[in-house]
Structure 1
């Protein structure tokens, strides 16, 4: 059993809590039973897994699967798990996984969501979860958004991170234009229109374009939209959380198409 937080392996886990380290090593952390289950369900490779004896006792079947699919497995103390986890009360298992070339969203596609400069990992994870649930073909984020494999993004996605095609773009203008040229309509939200989001035709191939939590979409991206729609709100309410706006838009698409 590993008991020292000074152990080189433990230090490796701890360093991966840092975004720069994850980018340089092309590795990231998976934390918690549910994420490990989802990773195993889609055969996502795990390099190293650390778990406690209590976790091992409560999850014998998953432990067997992990042993079959992981390069290295270590039994560790509660103190070690707490030091390598990013949550206050970890449930007893943390893994290192490789950053793989994720399946990119198709161009064109029936339903795609594109996010510009999203900063809150909880928002991004929630949008990933919702996009998967609503049947989106994929999701793109701008390069200056929070990392897709940020631990909070992974947790907020509730495991759907492994099931949705996702990509990072260093030029959203070119990306959105490429969808447009393939016949996909571009829809963005704004308060400066009288057209509600439920009053437009979303049954045709659609790309939903959403911007930063505070600043919204840049003018050059907003100008690409074929349709600008509003989400009706009571007087005095300026805006909705971007994850909420994404959910409303995605499920209006699903409603119209069903």
Structure 2
């Protein structure tokens, strides 16, 4: 791994915000999901959530522009499953919804652990998601149309969260699990060896503080050995 690649991956890991996320409530268009993932990566969001009853969920690689390699999508079969996970992490749950109690999305304190629920453009957030929210939020609009594409709405809200967190100096210090960081450094810094490990069912080695592989002779011998034929 080059020093430049090592530095870039570490910078990304150091800026990830594991306590900030969005949850797409039955957003079915794969290009919208991919666009949200791409923005999430730019913001520094570690993973997004998607309520998707069908197991066969795919993300458009072209629209995501490779961001799906860096931002994990956690799938839930029902909004209640997602909400339980957020409650377990003590996150404030916000839902985009026109209601009497809704406030401007910029009035929220996004330095708190936060998840934003967004629905599809036809139905919006599900009734269960709306009921579970701690606060409803809206994006003020002055035109005739009172809704935005879900990926655009997500981007506006996420960038406001980023603005607040940058002002609070919440970027620049790694908050992710050490094992996860080591895995990302190996897979993305040494992709050929990572693929070989999967083929040969070898454990991933450690990565040192210069981005190089730390492994004993036995690991290297196993790496060089041909794959036994079945």
TM-score, normalisation: structure 1: 0.54
Q: Which has the higher contact order (CA 8 A, sep 6+)?
A: 2
Tell whether the 8 Å contact from 2:30 to 2:58 is kept in structure 1 after alignment: no
Please list, as runs of the form range in 1=range in 2, the aligned pairs for 1:179-198 lying within 5 A after superposition.
179-192=86-99, 193-198=101-106
Tell whether the 8 Å contact from 1:131 to 1:250 is kept in structure 2 after alignment: yes
Alignment partner of 1:203 is 2:111: yes
SS of corresponding position for 1:223: helix
How far apart, CA to CA, are the structure 2 residues paired with 1:114 and 1:156? Answer: 18
Alignment partner of 1:170 is 2:77: yes
Alignment partner of 1:139 is 2:48: yes
Alignment partner of 1:253 is 2:161: yes
- Where structure 2 has 5 or more consecutive residues not aligned to the other structure, the ranges are 1-8, 10-16, 167-230
Aligned CA-pair RMSD: 2.1
Equivalent position of 1:227 in the other structure: 135
Equivalent position of 2:146 in the other structure: 238
- Where structure 1 has 5 or more consecutive residues not aligned to the other structure, the ranges are 1-41, 43-107
Please list, as runs of the form range in 1=range in 2, the aligned pairs for 1:142-153 lying within 5 A after superposition.
142-144=51-53, 148-150=57-59, 153=60
How far apart, CA to CA, are the structure 2 residues paired with 1:252 and 1:111? Answer: 12
* Count of residue correspondences: 150
How far apart, CA to CA, are the structure 1 residues paired with 2:97 and 2:36? Answer: 19
How far apart, CA to CA, are the structure 2 residues paired with 1:219 and 1:170? Answer: 15
